[in-house]
Amino acid sequence: MSRSSGIITFLLCTLLSSASALADTFVGKVLDETGAPLAGATVKADGSGTAVATDLDGRFRLTVGDRQSVKAYVSYIGYITNSTILKSDNGGRANTIRLNPDLTALNEVVVTATRTPKALKDAPVVTRLISAEEIKKSDATNIQDLLTEELPGLEFGYAMTQETSLSMSGFGGNAILFLVDGERLAGETMDNVDYNRLNLENVGQVEIVKGASSALYGANAVGGVVNLISKESREPWSVNLNSRYRDVGKEWRAGGDINFNSNRWNSNTTVQYSTSETVKLTDAFDTESAIHNIFGGNTLNVKERLTFRAGDALRLIARGSYFDRVSNRANYDDHYHDYSGGLRGVWQIDGTQNLELSYSYDRYDKSRYVGGLRTHDHDYSNRQNIVHALYTKFWGANGLTAGADFMHDFLNTYQFKDNADHSQSTMDAFVQFDYNPQPWLNLVASVRDDYFSESDNNAVTARLAAMFKPAPMTLRASYSGGFRAPTLKEMYMNFDMAGIQMIYGNPDLKPERSHNFNVAVERGGHVRHLWLAGSYSTTVSGYYNYYDRRITTADFPGDSENEAGAIYANEDGVRVAGLDVNLRYRTIHGIGASVSYNYLHVGGRSVDSQFSQPRPHSATWRLDFDRQLCSLYRLYAGISGRYLGKPDSNLATDGAYSIWKLTLRQTVGRGININFIIDNLFNYKPKVYYWNSAPTTGLTWSVGVSLDVNDIFK
């Protein structure tokens, strides 16, 4: 730090700090990012060598000498060491220190890869984790914003009617299973779920497993699983209020997150509302561009999660949510609604057995309004009822997991003949054995059978994963099967697509199948050098996925000119191979760096279309500084970016491009957070706005404020 910047920091901290009486005792508590106490954390005073450990409630009492304040290092295994300024007890008011998970230490717990909790470093299948702290720093509104910034090999674009289309590792949105706390979502548009439903207001972490995962999750887990996991605060109460303004489209976002926690009850209520105006990308006479405007609109998300602890062994979790989105088009408005609810019971039978039972309901509706009146010519309603059971049993380090599901799927849509409706029941059962013969060897085997009533099809899938730990590395290898059953839409569609052609369903479709092979090498550790002291992790993984009987549309001549068009059919397989490289490093002084790179090769019949075009090369990166500069001021400054190479396609595209982002986040006093972001830092603009072009008009900025009300009043 230069002398001038040091003087500025000193003056700023002096202005923010108030004088207190001399004292030699500093009291406080150490919490994790959810507010849970960390027992056994170390609090060490700088310069004196004095150190204490926190008790079972995360509390500590540190005696140093006659000082108004003291700089201390707070550390805990699996968490980033926090350099903070402790103030004297000042009449008994405690210092509160929060520690964030250190992903480079790989000790954070994940559940998606095996459906049972495991430390990230012990998961036999490569899992990418995005923590609550990373979500906060990204200032993302929904899962689309977050994944775009964090994951290479993934791209969101537009499809017809300007709905969002996903391409991930060569697969489209209907081959990637999105879950919320392990639960499926109803509804789709252009083969993608409504990503606007997946806001991040109450999300504690996001877990991504690439490759087939149908042996645990069934249909649609052909190319991967993305699981959003809700956070659970353990503080007596917490309230967060936040708002953000973005200049492009005059976009406003406002939200709130309210938690109450007693001995038996925990309530989490979240609300998020956003609105934006239509953004003009190019003039209508630009005949080369496929998209001329980004339509505006508004979105409302309301969620409630209520947990009741009936005893030490039994938890009951009730949830409900309401979603409303309006997309303002040139001549009409499209309205989207979702009503979701569920009840889950988790019973810890004893120290070795656990039983989980749940019921969930999800209803997703779409409708069109012209001149403020509902037309009923684009009505759509998808309703899902799901009953789920999961049992786990452990013998020492070994475990057995068994489960079963029943789902009733109902669909009524304007794309069926005479606006008819169809339904289907799905039943499945699966079992997994987790075998740990040695501390350095883990084998996991899974098998599952799914049955679909309407198509009278069943699919058996399996997975075998092995993890070997020759110090100081970790080696992973796995085979996993995947499948996607034909949807009701693909079996029964009878739709006139704007007079261009008819599209017909096919009840004789067979399930898509995939066979995924993955090998990964991982190494993590610590650097002891004085100025570079910190932790790092490196992961290199290669994968090969053979995707067979892909469901797509083929020419359908019909018996007359009126019947000619396209029909859903199974086609030959697609071969997808790729390489992922992830490098992370963070020092105890607050400096961090990360780089992720993806190489993708698609062989056989291409999975690309005019909407989804796989790119052979893509990357994301971040360099940041995050540190508590004094007791009342914390600074996070980061520069990040993403690169997308030119697609292997003859379809129109703007080629390779990169977009950079500057983020400044300041925490002032207790719980006042101010964000300032400059996106598209170097003012990139596509020459042609195609379906997968960056939908940007150049440099944009946003400013936001987040208030942790409970911290302000501490």
Measured distance CA(490)–CA(95) in Å, rounded? 59
pLDDT 10s digits, 387-424: 999 999 999 889 999 999 999 999 999 999 888 899 99
Query: Domain 104-492+512-548+572-712 class?
Result: mainly beta
pLDDT tens profile 99-142:
876 666 567 788 999 988 888 888 999 899 998 888 888 888 89
**Quick check: 104 and 585 in contact, CB under 8 A?**
yes
Residues 601/156, Cβ–Cβ less than 8 Å: no
pLDDT surpasses 60 at 609:
no
Whole-number mean pLDDT of the chain?
87
pTM: 0.87
Could you tell me the CA-to-CA distances from 428 to 395, 437, 462, 484, 512 in Å, in that order? 26, 30, 13, 14, 17
Residue given tokens 């989980």 in the structure block: 356
Q: pLDDT tens-digit profile of 517-526?
A: 999 999 988 7
Whether residue 607 contacts residue 614, with contact meaning beta carbons closer than 8 Å, is answered with yes
Token reading at 93: 């008011």
Q: DSSP secondary-structure letter at 696?
A: -
Q: Which tokens belong to 459?
A: 């699919």
Per residue in 629-685, pLDDT (tens digit) is 877 888 999 999 999 998 876 655 668 899 999 999 999 988 899 999 999 999 999
Q: Which pLDDT value is given to residue 653? A: 63
Give percent above pLDDT 90 in the chain.
49
> Is the torsion defined by CA of 666, 667, 669, 674 positive or negative?
positive
Residue 22: predicted pLDDT: 44
pLDDT tens-place string over residues 556-565: 876 665 667 8
Pairing of strands 441-452, 95-98: unpaired
CA 257 to chain centre: 18
Please state which of the ranges 21-25, 127-131, 182-186, 570-574 shows the lowest mean pLDDT. 21-25
| DSSP bridge partners of 218 | none
* Domain ranges (residues) in the chain: 3-100, 104-492+512-548+572-712
Residue 258 has pLDDT above 60, yes or no: yes
Q: Is 245 helix (H, G, I), strand (E, B) or coil?
A: strand
Contact present, 257 and 201 (Cβ < 8 Å): yes
Nearest to 14 by CA among 632, 670, 711: 632
The pLDDT value recorded for residue 412 is 95
- Residue 136: DSSP 8-state: H
Q: Evaluate if residue 184 carries a pLDDT over 90.
A: yes
Using one digit for the tens of pLDDT, what is the confidence trace for 8-22?
555 555 555 443 334
CB 256 within 8 A of CB 240: yes
Asked whether the predicted pLDDT for residue 384 surpasses 90, the reply is yes
Length reported for the chain: 714
What's the rounded Cα separation, in Å, for the pair 347 and 331?
Answer: 53
Contacting residues for 132 by C-beta, under 8 A, at least 6 apart = 33, 34, 100, 203, 204, 205, 231
Q: How many whole angstroms separate alpha carbon 124 and alpha carbon 10?
A: 48
When comparing pLDDT for 605 and 576, which is higher?
576
**Rounded-to-integer distance, Cα 568 and Cα 492, Å:** 10
Looking at residue 21, what is its pLDDT? Answer: 39
Sheet of 164-168: strands edge to edge? 154-158, 164-168, 171-172
Q: Which residue has the higher pLDDT, 535 or 358?
A: 358
Asked if residue 190 has pLDDT above 90, the reply is no
Average pLDDT over residues 244-272: 94
Number of helices (H), then strands (E), belonging to the chain: the values are 6, 45
In 277-379, the DSSP E strands lie at 279-280, 293-294, 297-309, 314-328, 333-350, 353-370, 373-374
Tell me the residue ranges of DSSP E strands in 135-232. 154-158, 164-168, 171-172, 176-180, 203-210, 224-230
Roughly how many angstroms between the first and final C-alpha of the chain, as a whole number? 32
Kindly state which CATH superfamily the domain 3-100 is placed in: Carboxypeptidase-like, regulatory domain (2.60.40.1120)
At 146, is the pLDDT very low, low, confident or very high (cuts 50, 70, 90)?
Answer: very high
The stretch 36-48 carries a mean pLDDT of 78
Check pLDDT > 60 for residue 610: no
pLDDT for res 227: 96
What's the rounded Cα separation, in Å, for the pair 657 and 646? Answer: 8
Q: How far is CA 116 from the centre of its chain?
A: 18
pLDDT of residue 202: 87
pLDDT at residue 262 tops 60: yes
**Residue 314: CB partners within 8 Å, gap ≥ 6?**
345, 346, 347, 348
